[in-house]
Amino acid sequence: MPTALNVTALVHLYEPPKTIGTGERTGAAFSGYHKTKIKDANKEWADHYTSIRGTIWGKEAEWLVRDGQKGTLVICSGMCHVEKYEKDGKHGATLKIDCQTARIAERKEDGERQPVAERPAPAPRAATGAAGADDSEPPFLPFTGCDSWG
């Protein structure tokens, strides 16, 4: 029996998110990375990058496509699995997240981090997955920065 894993990840976008789907079922696909520091074999701290791809549907997808750009910091949460691949004879893996939420925390502009203004979050989604009643503005999260998150 397959297992399900729910994660929350902090993702730096490689490029602006792309619109996927058509009609009433539209969403956004995005790719990025999560950077952490780990000790290497020599017991020295080194940067470690995890490649992440994600999808999100509904109003949050529209907001992500509208406001997301290269370098944007996104907090996403949802079900995940690992996808293995082979490219140019090298094997690798990426974390694939089917997001239930994806919120912009901050974005990079001209090489410097710029916090995104705080905006109110929409009402919680109904059991059917429909967006909240007030979904005219995206639910940006305030983020003051944390050096350990890269």
Q: What is the pLDDT of residues 108-146, one digit of tens each?
A: 555 555 555 544 444 444 444 444 444 555 555 544 444
Looking at residue 32, its pLDDT comes to: 93
**Is 90 a residue whose pLDDT tops 70?**
yes
User: Quick check: 98 and 80 in contact, CB under 8 A?
Assistant: yes
Looking at residue 2, its pLDDT comes to: 60
Looking at residue 4, its pLDDT comes to: 72
Looking at residue 136, its pLDDT comes to: 54
Looking at residue 74, its pLDDT comes to: 92
- 87 Cβ contact list (under 8 Å, min separation 6): none
128: phi > 0 → left, psi -120 to 50 → alpha, else beta; which?
alpha
E strand spans, 88-141: 90-109, 112-115
Looking at residue 3, its pLDDT comes to: 64
Looking at residue 22, its pLDDT comes to: 82
Report how far apart, in Å, the C-alpha atoms of 80 and of each of 3, 45, 108, 137 are. Answer: 10, 27, 26, 27
Q: Higher model confidence: residue 91 or residue 113?
A: 91
**Is 149 a residue whose pLDDT tops 50?**
no
Report how far apart, in Å, the C-alpha atoms of 135 and of each of 105, 113, 123 are. Answer: 18, 26, 8
Looking at residue 79, its pLDDT comes to: 93
Residue located via tokens 């994600």: 54
Q: Domains for the chain: give ranges and CATH numbers.
A: 5-139 (2.40.50.140)
Please tell me what DSSP assigns to residue 67. Answer: H
Please tell me what DSSP assigns to residue 120. Answer: P
Q: Higher model confidence: residue 126 or residue 3?
A: 3
Q: What is the pLDDT of residues 15-73, one digit of tens each?
A: 999 999 887 789 999 999 988 888 888 889 988 888 899 999 988 898 899 889 998 99
